[in-house]
Amino acid sequence: MRHVRLLLVFILLTLLVACGGKIEENISEQLPEFEYTTQNGETFGLNDLKGQWWLASFVYTNCKTVCPVMTKNMAKLQQELKENKLDIQIVSFSVDPEFDTPEVLKQYAKDYGVDFSNWTFLTGYQFKTIQDLSMNYFKTSLQKASPGTGNDQIAHGTSFFLVNPKGKIVKKYDGVGEEGQKQAILDIKALQ
């Protein structure tokens, strides 16, 4: 009888371990290789992120609507990750690379209290490049304002994205509401 109990405990533990480290995915796209410019003027790309889980967002510094909220939320999320000792990188892609130089991005990040130890802001590409990455891989919208409308705001998605260590986008979260941040923390805890 004792052997049966030990066998059952072993099977149960094996099943629990096998199930651990999984999250419910809601997107599945492999990112192409990329290499852009950081807020420090350095080259940074997908190879620098290989082997690590990371979160991504799309923002720009002249945004008057959702970007301030998204950046504030990601800064809160960064703080929560640190408090929970969760090791994850954060990457914010500028959707206005013509205006968002490394210096502009660095000042923007400082204004939000960003800790650069695990958060990188990227620029140094053409708008078409980031539009392709946004729409075809992250499956989120990105459109420039129509000329002559007097509107200079770029329309873009408001999600945060979780990318696995192999460069595959596996989950997207609401970047403007609190629930997205809470779910991201729960998922990252489950993965580490």
Output the known binding site for Cu cation.
63, 67, 156
> What does residue 177 show for φ and ψ, rounded to 5 degrees?
-100, 160
Round to whole Å and give the CA distance between 182 and 115: 20
- 186 contacts: CB under 8 Å, gap ≥ 6: none
Dig out the tokens for 75 from the structure.
């800064």
Round to whole Å and give the CA distance between 76 and 73: 5
- Which residues are part of a known binding site? 63, 67, 156
